[in-house]
Amino acid sequence: MDTVFPEILAEIDAGLEGRAELPSPDALLKRAEEILEAWLAARGEVPEAGEVEGFRLLALHRQGCKGTPSFNACRETCREIVFRRNVTLEYGEDTVTAHRLEAMVVKHLALFVGGKLEQTGLGEFCCSSRPLHAGVA
Partner 1 sequence: MAKDLKEKDLKQVAYYPGCALEGTGHAYNRSTKAVGKALGLELVEVKDWNCCGAMEVKNIDPQVQTYLSARNLTKTEEMGFNVVMAPCNGCYHNLKKAEYDLAQNPQAVEANERISAKAGHHAYRPGGVETIHALDWLKRAVGEEELARRTAGKLKGMKVANYYGCMYTRPRHIFPEKDQGEGSESTYAPHFMDDLLASAGAENVDFPLKTACCGGAHAMSDADTSTQLVLNILTTAEACGAEVIATECPTCHTSLEIHQLRAEKLLGRKTNVKILYFTQLLGMALGLSQRKVGVAENMADPRAYLREKGLK
Quick check: helix, strand or coil at residue 24? coil
Nearer to partner 1, 2 or 46 (CB): 2
| 112 binds partner 1 per the rule CB under 8 A | yes
User: How far, in Å, CA of 107 to CA of 14, rounded?
Assistant: 12
With b meaning 16 or more CB within 10 Å and e meaning fewer, what string describes 108-132?
ebbebbbebbeebeeebebeeebee
| 62 binds partner 1 per the rule CB under 8 A | no
From the CB of 73, what's the least distance to partner 1, in Å? 4
Residue from 15, 47, 64, 114 touching partner 1 (CB under 8 A): that is 114
| 43 binds partner 1 per the rule CB under 8 A | no
Residue from 83, 88, 90, 92 touching partner 1 (CB under 8 A): that is 83
Q: Is 81 in contact with 106 (CB distance < 8 Å)?
A: yes
Amino acid at 131: P
From the CB of 127, what's the least distance to partner 1, in Å? 6
Nearer to partner 1, 18 or 49 (CB): 18
